[in-house]
Chain A
């Protein structure tokens, strides 16, 4: 029973991290209808920048905002210089552009950071807790705290602020949003800022959790999170979070705990195929 609960807690933590990455994809898909594969490279960049600033300063309080700022700039650069010029072509063209950016950035990480695994030796400012023999590590605790805070802030921005209203209006009808004085291109850039800053946080959390930062750490999330936005319902933010949490728990319990002989990373794609067969609009997607 203790093992089960520990695995469940691990699963929720994994799911929370997936949701931080997937939300960026869902935001971008919602507003531009582009599958933003390069988002996973932004996430990797977040881990590298975070590690670099942490190594120099020894402070996560500096490393996290620095990584968020760099990733926000990176996300906007991808949007301005790759997606916006390619938007007038059919959707597969920006998708190919996105994959190209993703692969190119992986090579940049390899050249700059070296073709090996770096460790992320951050000491978290609090210790783990033990409740009735169930051990909760500080890394898991910080993943819970940080993702809950980020999800709450994102929810607030999207549903309660002027920027959120502009984002939702622009994603539903860009031209008509413009006729109300909403600057669509600014709103789109801000969407990339938000999604990319959150991806930076996810990159650092993963780096600390596994104590690993390496050039191809975005490869699996790149495709897994695409599957997740399909499962959640394309462009649906609550759907993206729900699908991510379910996958995190599912992976850990079915494959880690119940020992079903399948590769862990296959579950996301099995879920995607199942959803496409029986509920093509996704768990929480509209028709």
Chain B
């Protein structure tokens, strides 16, 4: 397993956001975690990344216990996140945002090739390469956030609510890119989404998170047919 999370707990003061979640991802898998707003999806992802501290449980990455590693060391192990609402650096240019994305490893990853690959994936970023992050539209910021995470060639990509606030056309485009990255480049992706239909559609397995606990897991195809999932998340 590339990532194994066991009995993970996250609290903010007295509020329990994640209460003992266990999940695992093998290399090359695309897994989704679906759930309603406030179910603890973002807390789970941020805790795996190391932005939010855990209050119990373990995170094992590539066979190594990283539970006590600070965020920047987890990043150097090869984990990257596309954060909720993109969070591009507003006063860095698009190019500088991408440069920050592979901080300290520019020589290791053959930066110019990666850059032209990214610009091929999202041509609009090349057009806007010397614009400040804050001047991009919501969709462009989301593309920049994805690119900023991809450029370092991560082993595991965490994707937090990438469809939120995007036009439907862009949502399709972004999910297509995720699927392509997984199928063609073998990138391991953990997707966290409110958009259950789209994320069940591209993932092989999924977990359903409700008030901080995993209530259901299985092959995404089976979950799509599950009456409880259909009623609660697919609006059928």
A residues bordering B, Cβ < 8 Å? Answer: 162, 165-166, 168-169, 172-173, 175-184, 286
Q: Which residues of B contact A177 (CB under 8 A)?
A: 89, 100
Shortest distance in angstroms between B7's beta carbon and chain A's nearest beta carbon?
24
Shortest distance in angstroms between A253's beta carbon and chain B's nearest beta carbon?
34
CB nearest to A175 among chain B residues:
B51
Interface string of B73-111 (1 = CB under 8 A from A): 001100011010001011110001001111111000000
Taking a contact as CB atoms under 8 Å apart, the answer to whether A182 and B100 are in contact is yes
Q: Which residues of B contact A183 (CB under 8 A)?
A: 70, 72
Take A162-B103, A162-B104, A165-B100 as given contacts and tell me if A181 and B75 are in contact as well, using a CB distance cutoff of 8 Å.
yes
Take A178-B75, A180-B75, A180-B148 as given contacts and tell me if A172 and B90 are in contact as well, using a CB distance cutoff of 8 Å.
yes
The answer to whether B49 has its CB under 8 Å from any CB of chain A is: yes
The answer to whether B152 has its CB under 8 Å from any CB of chain A is: yes
CA distance A166 to B106 in the complex (A): 13
**The one of B51, B91, B104, B105 that contacts A178, using a Cβ cutoff of 8 Å:** B51
Taking a contact as CB atoms under 8 Å apart, the answer to whether B100 and A179 are in contact is no
Taking a contact as CB atoms under 8 Å apart, the answer to whether B92 and A169 are in contact is yes
CA distance A173 to B81 in the complex (A): 14
Shortest distance in angstroms between B86's beta carbon and chain A's nearest beta carbon?
10
Shortest distance in angstroms between A84's beta carbon and chain B's nearest beta carbon?
14
Q: Which residues of A contact B91 (CB under 8 A)?
A: 168, 172, 286
CA distance A127 to B180 in the complex (A): 70
Take A168-B92, A175-B71 as given contacts and tell me if A181 and B103 are in contact as well, using a CB distance cutoff of 8 Å.
yes
The answer to whether B50 has its CB under 8 Å from any CB of chain A is: yes
Take A179-B80, A181-B105 as given contacts and tell me if A169 and B72 are in contact as well, using a CB distance cutoff of 8 Å.
no
Shortest distance in angstroms between B222's beta carbon and chain A's nearest beta carbon?
33
Taking a contact as CB atoms under 8 Å apart, the answer to whether B50 and A180 are in contact is no
Taking a contact as CB atoms under 8 Å apart, the answer to whether B51 and A180 are in contact is no
Interface string of B169-188 (1 = CB under 8 A from A): 00000000000000000000
Shortest distance in angstroms between B138's beta carbon and chain A's nearest beta carbon?
17
**The one of A169, A184, A286 that contacts B100, using a Cβ cutoff of 8 Å:** A169
A sample of 23 cross-chain residue pairs with beta-carbon separation below 8 angstroms, ordered by A number, consists of: A162-B104, A165-B96, A165-B100, A165-B103, A166-B103, A168-B91, A172-B89, A172-B90, A175-B51, A175-B71, A178-B50, A178-B51, A178-B71, A178-B75, A179-B51, A179-B71, A179-B83, A180-B101, A180-B102, A181-B75, A182-B72, A183-B70, A183-B72
Extra pairs beyond A169-B92, A169-B103 (19, CB < 8 Å) = A162-B103, A165-B99, A165-B100, A166-B100, A168-B91, A169-B89, A172-B89, A172-B92, A179-B49, A179-B71, A179-B80, A179-B81, A179-B83, A180-B148, A180-B152, A181-B103, A181-B152, A182-B104, A184-B72
